[in-house]
Homo-oligomer: A and B are copies of this chain.
Amino acid sequence: MAAKFVSERNLKFLLYDVFDAAALTRRPYYRMHNRKTFDMVLNETLRIARDLMWPCLEEMDRHPPELVDMQVRVHPAVKPIMREVGQGGWIGASFPSQFDGEQLPVSVASACRFIFFAANYSAGVYPELTSGAARLIVSFASQDLIDTYVPKMLDGAWQGTMALTEPAAGSSLADITTTAVPSGNGDYRIQGQKIFISAGDHDGVENVVHLMLAKIEGAPPGVKGISLFVVPKKRPDARGGLVDNDITVSQVYHKLGYRGTPIVELSIGDKGDCHGYLVGEPHKGLIYMFQMMNEARIGVGLGAAAIASAAYYAALDYARERPQGRKPAAKDPLAPPVPIIEHADVKRMLLFQRAVFEGALSLLLQCSVYADKALTAEAPDKPKWDLLLDILTPIAKSYPSEMGIHAVSQALQCFGGYGYCEDFPVEQYYRDMRIHPIHEGTTGIQGLDLLGRKVRMQDGRAYTLFTEEVAETITACRDDEDLAARGRQLEEAMALLDQVTRHLTGSMTAQGPEVFLADATLYLDFFGIVTIAWQWLLQALAAKRALAGKTSRSQTSFYKGKLYTCAYFFGYELPKIKGLAVRLQDDDPVTVAMNPDYFND
């Protein structure tokens, strides 16, 4: 099978035609780059993805990590992948050059992460987590910690992790019980248990560096008493060697999918000899961690969109090859069957997938562009881009995760019975995808974050900025007859969003926080659909601009495909907000009023 899991043309269309990433190189921080260097990076990323990650996609699933002699054994491909991706500069792709990073725009780095994830999600997670953990160190830790850990991490020699969750504290981090006791030598002794730690131990690297949340003895209760530590599996000793740091893997989880990455349970400091190194100030751990979490949430969105991309190309390939049935008007039973891509219902399933993952990818790059702008803006402009990124992060995490499940399910459906069999990769994609609404904050948590925090913060400033961005796109559509009509559709959708948002925030006053937040997940869904519609309009605008110039036959097909997918989204997906709006404006608090006892029978 050809290794088609992403569209290079689509990535470049989004980066250059829609978001004008090349313009970023006019900013001083990115001036060492130009479109040519971006293209080289993308090509090299595609090569690594194709040659190193894709070939072991299935094998990493079939031979999941095992715990052998207290050590997690992963697929032998992990080691060369980490080494090549590290030494090739991907882990430090968007790190400043002072840390030996490539100082690439976040948007270009996001495109690279997407490519890796599409080739092999599990394989992409190892560098992804390492990059996030290292960034946390460079952002908030001492120079000493930076010098000790970051070069090894960016090099792919040491793995980074996020060690947050505990047996009694998943969605509710306030309840963590891992403790940190000052040793008197400036470091801490850590004791506790962490569960569901991705890449929490493995033999593809020389060491594992946990960015771990713990509570310092005597800290205030709740989230205000959480501190962040660097806690390595092996700690550097005075002679430049590495000694065991008293962390034991107590189990490797057996999972539905995403099997190429070990998810482990850790016992920390059983012998009282686990050294942890405080990052930044005490009790500010959660604030620091949010930086990594937000980056990780964009990463989850990229991973979800990427798996949907790979599933789509598998389904597309099959739909083109598989003959079955005839057109509804065909009467002759002896006429040869047509490839199933000729059937309207199959085209609908393909358009749906494309609408979802290309729409999602567009939003993820949009968020990355906001990150780039925040990073390079003059001081007064910075908050604007930060706020836009803030309000869109829960959507960029959840929309691809939730809708990606449906997209991969439709890809599987295109294969009929074969989709359910292990002979094709879609059944794996179906399993791999299901993790995304769970990790890095469940969909429910994202809904609470959006409605309970982001929409209302700074008196709705982020929300207003978002509506201004969308309005700008609508204005840009006015001169084009087709797109003007779509612009009006989006305008109506935004008006409905406004109406729903006002209704909900009103219910906060009238009925209190429980009723206000009860349908936050539906609100997230609504907000997501409107946001993706906006992204499709941006893509349609770019496609129209391109079609107005000189294009090759294959370019024309591509741009027309964009316009049809946009039409699909506005025709089939956007109307879903009408049903959601009914519920979101309904004052009957069904779920709040439902007594848990009524689930008895």
Q: Give the B-binding residues of A (Cβ under 8 A).
A: 7, 9-10, 165, 168-172, 174-175, 195-196, 221-224, 253-258, 263, 316, 320, 323-329, 333-334, 337, 339, 341-348, 350-351, 354, 405, 409, 412-413, 416-417, 419-423, 427, 430-431, 434-435, 437-439, 442-444, 447-448, 452, 512-514, 516-522, 554, 557-558, 560-561, 564, 567-568, 571-572, 575-580, 582-583, 586, 588-601
Return the chain B residue nearest A346 by Cβ: B444
- A343: which B residues are within 8 A, CB to CB? 444
- A258: which B residues are within 8 A, CB to CB? 420
Copies of this chain in the oligomer? 2
- A409: which B residues are within 8 A, CB to CB? 405, 434
A455 CA to B527 CA in the complex, in Å? Answer: 36
Residue with the highest number of chain B CB atoms closer than 10 Å, among A328, A416, A557, A591? A591
CB distance from A369 to the nearest CB of B (A): 22
Task: Please tell me if the beta carbons of B431 and A413 are within 8 angstroms of each other in the complex.
Answer: no
What would 9 A/B residue contacts be, using CB atoms closer than 8 Å?
A172-B337, A195-B417, A328-B514, A339-B596, A345-B520, A417-B439, A561-B601, A564-B590, A575-B579
Which secondary structure characterizes the binding site on chain A? helix
Task: Point out the residue from B175, B324, B590 that lies within 8 Å of A571, measured CB to CB.
Answer: B590
Task: Please tell me if the beta carbons of B561 and A588 are within 8 angstroms of each other in the complex.
Answer: no
- Knowing A571-B588, A591-B568 are in contact, say whether A598-B439 is a contact too (CB < 8 A): no
- Knowing A345-B447, A518-B348 are in contact, say whether A325-B601 is a contact too (CB < 8 A): no
- Knowing A345-B521, A438-B419 are in contact, say whether A594-B564 is a contact too (CB < 8 A): yes
Task: Please tell me if the beta carbons of B594 and A324 are within 8 angstroms of each other in the complex.
Answer: no
Task: Please tell me if the beta carbons of A253 and B514 are within 8 angstroms of each other in the complex.
Answer: no
CB distance from A361 to the nearest CB of B (A): 13
Task: Please tell me if the beta carbons of A416 and B431 are within 8 angstroms of each other in the complex.
Answer: no
7 nearest A-B residue pairs (beta carbon): A222-B333, A561-B598, A575-B582, A328-B513, A344-B518, A575-B579, A172-B325
CB distance from A299 to the nearest CB of B (A): 17
- A520: which B residues are within 8 A, CB to CB? 345
- Knowing A344-B591, A513-B329, A577-B579 are in contact, say whether A320-B596 is a contact too (CB < 8 A): yes
- A597: which B residues are within 8 A, CB to CB? 557
Known pairs A221-B334, A256-B422, A578-B578; list 18 more (Cβ under 8 Å). Answer: A170-B324, A172-B337, A195-B417, A256-B421, A256-B427, A256-B430, A320-B596, A329-B512, A341-B596, A344-B591, A413-B438, A431-B431, A557-B598, A558-B600, A571-B583, A571-B586, A572-B590, A579-B579
